[in-house]
Structure 1
Amino acid sequence: MAQRLAAWTQHTKRSALQDMLELTSGPEYISFGLGLPNAECFPAKQLAVSANEVLLRQSDPLQYAPPAEQLKRQIQLLMRKRGVECSTSQIFLTAGAQQGINLLVRLLLDPGKAVLAEEVTYTGFLQVLEPFQPRMMTVSTDPATGIDVEQVEQVLQTEERPACMYVIPSGHNPLSYTLSREKRQKLAQLAAEYEVPIIEDDPYGFLAYEDIEIPAIKSFQSDWVFYVGSFSKILAPGLRLGWIIANEEIIEKLSIVKEATDINTATLTQQIAANFLQKDEFANHLHHLRQEYRSRRNGMLDQLEAQLGEAGSWTIPSSGLFIWVRFPESINTMELFRESITTEKVTFFPGSVFAVNPSRMASSSIRLNFSFNNHDKIEEGITRLSRLVKRHL
C-alpha cells in the first residue's frame, strides 16, 4: 500500500517536533526543545467562565456556523496594536497559524514553482511545502539583524519570480531576532514593486519584552502582505484559533480552500475566545504573560552567562519564546543532542533541523525555549547543558 501513496510521501519523514513530543514526555527530562507556552499562564478559570456563559446562552456554539463576527471584531481591535487597520471582512479565521500558512501556500503555490525563504527558518513552513516540491530560493540571515533584505532584492531582480516569500519578523523561530522597522518597510516595498506576496507569520508579535513595539510588515503594505496571527502563544494553543488578514477577493478564495480542509473553524472555541476578549481581561492577561516570559528569558540568559561564559554566544530576544545559541564550529550540535538525551536528559533543537540547505551556522547552533520551564528547571537544565558542552570542548 505504501507504494501507492503520492510520490512526495516516499521521501517525507516525521517532523522533529513530533519526535520531540514523544521523547520529552518522561519526568526525567528537562525540555528546552518545543516552543510551548507555559500552562500555568493559561487563563483557564476565565476561559471556563466564558465557556459556561457561551454554552448556557444557547446551543448554537455546538452547531456548524459562519465565522464569528464578534471574534473578528476583537481581532480587528487587536491588530491596531500591530499597526494594522483592517475591516472584519478582511479577517479570515483559521484553526491556528499553521493552518493559515497551509491555506496560503495552497492558494499561492503551483507544484515545482519557486519559494523565497531564509536559509534558516521554521520547520512547519518547510513541511507545508513538501507536497509541492518547490524550488527553494534562500537568502542569508543573521541571528541579530535578521533576513538580508539587500539579498532579497538581488534575488527578485535576477532570478525566476518566486510564488511567495515567507518571513517571521518578530521573535523569529528559530533565530529569535526581531526585524527592524526599516527592514520591514523595505520588504513591504519589494513585495509591491516585484508583485511577490509575503506570508508574514506573526505568532510572537504580541510577546514584545521591550518598550518599543515595531509594527507588522502588513502595516506598510495592504495588498501584497498576508498577515498570519494566532492565539496559541498568547491565549491557549488548545483553542486552535488563528487568523489571516488579506483583501476580500483573497478571503473568498481562502474560504473555498478551507471548506475542502475542515469545513469551518470550531464554532465553540470561536465563541469562547470572543466572550473572553470582549471582557477586557485580555490586556491584563497579556501584560502578565509578558512579565512572566521576560523573567524566564532573563533567567535563562543569566544562567547561560554564568554556566557557559565564553563557551558560546547567544541572542537576547526582544520578543518570542526562543534563544539561539552558537558554539564553536568544532561542535556538531546534532551529535550534542544525541548524547544529551542519553546522558544529561536535557533536550533542545539542533540548528540543522531548521536549515533549508546544509549550513555551517546552523550545524553548530541550538535553539532553546525559555517559556515552558520555571526558574529552577531552567537553572538545572542549563547546568546539564553546560556539562555536556564543556565535555565536547
Structure 2
Amino acid sequence: MAQQLATWTQLTKRSALQDMLELTSGSEYISFGLGLPNAEFFPTEQLARSANEVLLQQSNILQYAPPTELLKQQIQLLMGQRGVHCSTSQIFLTAGAQQGINLLARLLLDPGKTVLSEEVTYTGFLQVLEPFQPRILTVPTDPVMGIDVEQVEKILQTEERPACMYVIPSGHNPLSYTLSREKRQRLAQLAAEYEVPIIEDDPYGFLEYEDIEIPAIKSFQSDWVFYVGSFSKILAPGLRLGWIIANEEVIEKLSIAKEATDINTTTLTQQIAANFLQKDEFTKHLLYLRQEYSSRRNCMLDHLSARLGEVGSWTSPTSGIFIWVRFPEYINTMELFRESITTEKVTFFPGNVFAVGQNQISTSSIRLNFSFNNHDKIDEGIARLSRLVKRHI
C-alpha cells in the first residue's frame, strides 16, 4: 500500500518534534527540547469562566458557524501592539499558526517552485513545503544579527524569482534573535519592489522582554506581507487558535482552502477566547507571562554562564522562548544528543534538525527552551548538560 502513496510521501520522514515527544515523556527526563509554554501559566480558571458563560448564553455555540466577529475585533486591537492597523475583514482565523502557514503555502506555491528561506529555520515550515517539493534558496543567517538582508536582495535581483519568502522576525525559532527595525523595513521594501510575498511567522512577537517593542514587518507593507499570529504561546496551545492578516481578495481564497481542510476553526474555542480577551484579565495575564518567562530566561542564562561559559557562547534573547547555544566546531551536537538520552537524561534539539542543507552553524549548536521548566529544573538540567559537554572537550 505504501507504494501507492503520493511521491512526496516516499521522501518525507517523521518529525523530530514527534520523536522528541515520545522519547522524553518519562519523568526522569528534563526537557529543554520542545517549544512548550508552561501549563502552570495557562489562565485555566478564567477560561473556564468564559467557557461557562458562552455555553449558557449561546444555544448554538456547538453548531457550524462563520468566524466569530468578536474574536476578530480583539485580534484587531492586539495587532495595534505590533504596529499593524487592519480591518476585521482582513483577519482570517485558523486552527493555530501551523495551519496558517500551510494554507498560505497552498495559495502561493505550485509544485517545483522556488522558496526563499534562511539556512537555519523552523522545522514546521520545512514540513509544510514537502508536498510541493520546491527548490529552496537559502540565505545566510546569524544568531545575533539575523537574516542577511543584502543576500536576500541579491537573490531577488536574479532571474529566478521565489514564490515566497519565510521569516520569523521575533524570538526566532531556533536562533532566538529578534530582527532589527531597519532590517524589517528593508525586507518589506524588497517584498514590494520585487513582488515576492513574505510569510511573517510571529508566534513570539507578544513575548517581548525589553521596554522597546519592534513593530511587525507587516506594519511596513500591507500588500506583500502575510502576517501569521497565534494564541498558542500567549494563551494556551490546546485552544488551537491562530490568525492570518491579508488583503480581502486573499482572504476569499484562504476560505476556500480552509473549507477543504477542516470546514472551520472550532466555534467553541473562538467564543471562549473572544470572551476572555475582551476582559481586563488578558492584559494582566500577558504582563505576568512576560515577567515569568523573563525570569526563567535569566535563570538559564546565569546557569549557562556559570557552568559552560568557557566552552560555549550564546546571546540573551529579547523575545521568544529559546536560547541558541554554540559550541566549538569539533563538538557534534547530534552525538551529544544521542549520548544524553542514555546518560544524563536531559534533552535538547541538535542544531542540524533546523538546517536547510549542511552548514557549520547548525552541527555544533543546540536549541534550548527556557519556558517549560521551573528554576530548579533549569538548574539541574544545565548541570547535566555541562557534564555531558565537558566529557567531549
TM-score with structure 1 setting the length:
1.00
| Runs (4+) off by over 3 Å | none
One-letter code of the match for 1:279? K
**Are 1:114 and 2:114 matched, yes or no?**
yes
Report SS of the residue matched to 1:145. Answer: coil
Q: Percent identity?
A: 85
- Superposed, 1:254-333 pairs within 5 Å as 254-333=254-333
**Counterpart residue identity of residue 245, structure 1:** I
> Hey, what does 2:65 align to over in structure 1?
65
Letter in 1 for 2:136: M
Specify the alignment match of 2:147 in structure 1. 147
Counterpart mapping for 1:369-380 below 5 A: 369-380=369-380
Distance 2:192 2:383 in 1: 48
Q: Hey, what's the Cα distance between the residues in 2 that align with 1:155 and 1:16?
A: 30
Q: 1:279 offset after TM fit, Å?
A: 1.0
CA separation in 1, counterparts of 2:348 and 2:294?
Answer: 20
Per the TM alignment, residue 179 of structure 1 is displaced from its structure 2 partner at its CA by 0.1
Distance in 1 separating the partners of 2:35 and 2:298:
17
- Whole-angstrom distance in 2 between the partners of 1:131 and 1:208: 34
| 1:337 counterpart residue number | 337
Following TM superposition, by how much is the alpha carbon of 1:159 offset from its aligned partner in structure 2, in angstroms?
Answer: 4.2
Question: Within 2, Cα distance between the matches of 1:139 and 1:70?
Answer: 40
- Distance in 1 (alpha carbons) for counterparts of 2:149 and 2:169: 12
The one-letter code matched in structure 2 to 1:168 is I
Q: What SS does the corresponding residue of 1:73 show, helix, strand or coil? A: helix
> In the aligned structure 2, how far is the partner of 1:108 from the partner of 1:278?
34
Match of 1:76 in 2: 76
Q: How does 1:63-212 map to 2 (within 5 A)?
A: 63-212=63-212
User: In the aligned structure 1, how far is the partner of 2:137 from the partner of 2:102?
Assistant: 19
- For 1:8-40, what per-residue CA distance to the aligned partner results, in whole angstroms no more than 9, with x for missing partners? 000111100000000111000000000000000
The code of the aligned residue for 1:5 comes to: L
Kindly provide the CA deviation profile for residues 288-338 of structure 1, in whole angstroms up to 9, marking residues without a partner as x. 000000000000000000011211001210000000000000000000000
Distance across 2 between alignment mates of 1:280 and 1:274: 12
Aligned residues: 393
CA 1:159–1:30 in structure 2 vs 1: closer, same or farther (change >3 Å)? Answer: farther
Distance 1:99 1:277 in 2: 22
Q: Which moved more, 1:306-315 or 1:162-171?
A: 306-315
Cα displacement (A) at 1:283: 0.5
Q: Counterpart amino acid of 1:331? A: I
Alpha-carbon shift at residue 359 of structure 1 (Å)? 1.0
Distance 1:65 1:171 in 2: 34
Match for residue 26 of structure 1? Answer: 26
CA distance in 1, matches of 2:170, 2:60: 37
Equivalent in the alignment of 1:10: 10
- Cα-Cα RMSD: 0.4
Partner of 2:37: 37
SS of alignment partner, residue 65 of structure 1? coil
Distance in 1 (CA, whole Å) between partners of 2:8 and 2:229 is 29
Shift of 1:59: 2.2
Aligned partner of 2:386 in structure 1 is 386
In 1: Cα distance, 2:132 partner to 2:118 partner:
18
The letter for the 1-side match of 2:74 is: Q
Letter aligned with residue 102 of structure 1: N
Whole-angstrom CA distance in 1 between matches of 2:75 and 2:24: 34
Verify: 1:354 aligned to 2:354, yes or no.
yes
In the other structure, the counterpart of 1:219 is: 219
Cα distance in 1 for partners of 2:114, 2:299 equals 41
Look up the equivalent residue of 1:326 and give its one-letter code: R
Give the TM-score of the pair, scaled to structure 2. 1.00
- C-alpha distance in structure 1 between counterparts of 2:279 and 2:107, whole Å: 35
5+ long unaligned stretches in structure 2: none
Q: Which amino acid aligns with 2:275?
A: N
2:109 counterpart letter in structure 1: L
Q: Residue 314 of structure 1: SS of its match in structure 2? A: coil
Pick closer, same or farther for the CA change 1:388–1:159 going to 2, 3 Å.
farther
User: What code does the residue aligned with 1:242 have?
Assistant: G
Using the TM superposition, give the Cα deviation of residue 66 of structure 1 relative to its aligned residue in structure 2, in angstroms: 0.1
Deviation, structure 1 residue 58 = 2.0
Q: Which runs of 5+ in 1 are unaligned?
A: none
Deviation digits for residues 117-176 of structure 1 (CA, Å, limit 9, x no counterpart): 000000000000000000000000000010000000000002410000000000000000
Distance 1:194 1:282 in 2: 39
